[in-house]
Structure formats: structure tokens, C-alpha cells
A and B are shown apart, each in its own frame.
Chain A
């Protein structure tokens, strides 16, 4: 059983397209996150949700829209994809917000061509 699973693992798409990445956690955690890891391997938080409510939005372009249908799911929809969106996107969850131990998914490598 994978604790935090995200799909797809790889995503190649053309500029201007709209795409979604799905994330599910079976740990019973209250808090879920989306992180972006760029080519320099820096991990930058994008969004944080606690019990389906958005608590952090780190100045991410509004082309990125997270959706949390329930506590166990946090999906990421991206409109009008740009070349600079190419990166690895990680979903994570933790028992509590404020920086508890986070469990990460395997990542989605997004390539925009």
C-alpha cells in the first residue's frame, strides 16, 4: 500500500494545454501539500491544505489551481501550460500543519514542449 500516491508519474504535454495531477493519501493525515522541484533540485512549497481548506498559497500563478474534494485527496490543475512549468511536482501529507513530518509521493515529472 502506497502511503501517498500521485498520478501520473510522467506527463509530457504541449504549451498552452491544461493538465491535472492527482494525489491521494491513505495515512489519515489532515494536511496535504504540493511542492515544485526545479532543475536545481530546490524544493519549493506551492500550496498547503488543512482539512480541505487552503492555508498556504505561495504566490503561485493563478494558472495553478489546487482542489481538495476530501481530506485524503489534493489534486493540482494547471491551465495554459508554459515551458517554465516543466519540473517535478511532489504531493505530500502530514499529520498536522506547522511542519510535522511529511510523507512525499513519488513525484510527477512534467515536461512542457
Chain B
């Protein structure tokens, strides 16, 4: 089956620093999604990408859909304590019968004030 490699597995950064994480796949997706999970909650969508090469921002967050359709990255600029959480990438094949997105194993972000 399809597998995603998400890295890094964890990050410990100082407040104000920029963060970068990425996902790579051995196969093609036509959708890349980035979610954040706060402690005790379910994952919540941050950014959705639908086109190869697409670069999308949501406040301090920027994500890109890789041109090969096999990778995506998420950047967070000027991190703040509430950025703490687990970030998941997910690759999807919409308008197919794939039935699901494939999730990466998550990047746990810790921000020190």
C-alpha cells in the first residue's frame, strides 16, 4: 500500500523560530492535506493542496504541493507557544475509489517560550 515518510519525527524549537517539515511518498497523490492535532483533540485541517506546484498560505503557515506530486512541505514562521501539537500530512486520491487519505506518522512540535 501507499506509505508516507514524514520528517522530522519531533522538533524542539525556541519561540520565534521558523519550522519546516515535509512528507514524501513513493507514489503519486492528487491531494495533499496538512492537519494539526492539539492534545486531547482530533486533528484539524490547516491547509489543503489540490494542484502540483501549488503554494498556499494560511497566516503564518505555508504549504506546497510538490511538482512530482510525491511530496509536500509545511513551513511555520515565527513560531509561538500555541503552535505546539502534532502535525500530520495526508495524501489523498480524490475522485477515485481509494476510499481514504494516507496519513504520515506525524511531527511533534514543542515550542519553548
Would A100 and B92 be within 8 Å (CB), given that A41-B108, A56-B99 are in contact?
A: yes
Please state if B48 and A96 are interface contacts (CB–CB under 8 Å).
no
Question: How many inter-chain contacts with C-beta < 8 Å in the A-B complex?
Answer: 78
Q: Contact size class for B?
A: 20 to 34
Residues of B within 8 A of A (CB): 29, 31, 33, 37, 40-45, 48, 86, 88, 90-103, 105-106, 108
Q: Contact size class for A?
A: 20 to 34
Please state if A101 and B95 are interface contacts (CB–CB under 8 Å).
no
A110 to B43 alpha-carbon distance, docked (Å): 18
Partner of A101, one of B41, B45, B102: B45
A92 adjacent to chain B (CB < 8 Å): yes
Please state if A98 and B93 are interface contacts (CB–CB under 8 Å).
yes
Stretch from A13-21, A43-51, A61-69, A71-79 contacting the other chain: A43-51
